[in-house]
């Protein structure tokens, strides 16, 4: 859904200015507020509204793969009638960064991150146990950096 008309000027500036370069400080939201001539409370409310609208899913760092802990892309072949329920189970794990549906026999994909290979294996095993569906880990073979920042079109 297109929410451009629902966004305030502050929300648009947050989206424009902080796709990258989130301040690395003990007070990142206060720093953002100062740079945007706003208050920390207003920034937090705006970010909450953007999340509520589904425009953003989270605000936080993205670490280079395996720089901190271990991770894997994983896929599951979920019966379509169970997709929403299984996705909710997968999302309930704090180790899962995000998941998404694909048009394929393996129709639910997600990224899981953990402190160690053992912990990551346990998360995937727990997901299998709770869903009764096999998880296919797809560990990274080669690292590519893709810049996901882009110019937003407001008109």
Check: CB of residue 103 under 8 Å from CB of residue 141: no
pLDDT tens by residue, 62-116:
666 655 678 899 999 999 999 999 999 999 999 998 888 999 999 999 999 999 9
Candidates 139, 142, 132, 73; CA nearest to 108 is 73
pLDDT at 3: 61
- Is the pTM higher than 0.85? The answer reads no
């Amino acid at each position: 859904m297109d929410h451009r008309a629902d966004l305030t000027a502050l929300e648009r500036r947050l989206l424009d200015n902080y796709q990258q370069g989130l301040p690395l400080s003990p007070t990142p939201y206060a720093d953002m507020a100062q740079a945007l001539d706003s208050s920390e409370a207003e920034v937090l409310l705006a970010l909450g509204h953007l999340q509520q609208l589904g425009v953003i899913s989270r605000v936080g760092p993205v670490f280079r793969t395996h720089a901190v802990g271990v991770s894997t892309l994983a896929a599951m072949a979920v019966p379509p009638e169970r997709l929403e329920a299984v996705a909710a189970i997968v999302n309930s794990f704090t180790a899962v960064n995000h998941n998404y549906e694909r048009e394929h026999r393996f129709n639910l994909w997600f990224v899981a991150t953990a402190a160690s290979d053992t912990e990551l294996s346990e998360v995937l095993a727990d997901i299998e146990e709770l869903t009764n569906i096999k998880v296919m880990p797809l560990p990274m073979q080669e690292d590519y950096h893709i810049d996901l920042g882009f110019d937003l079109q407001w008109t």
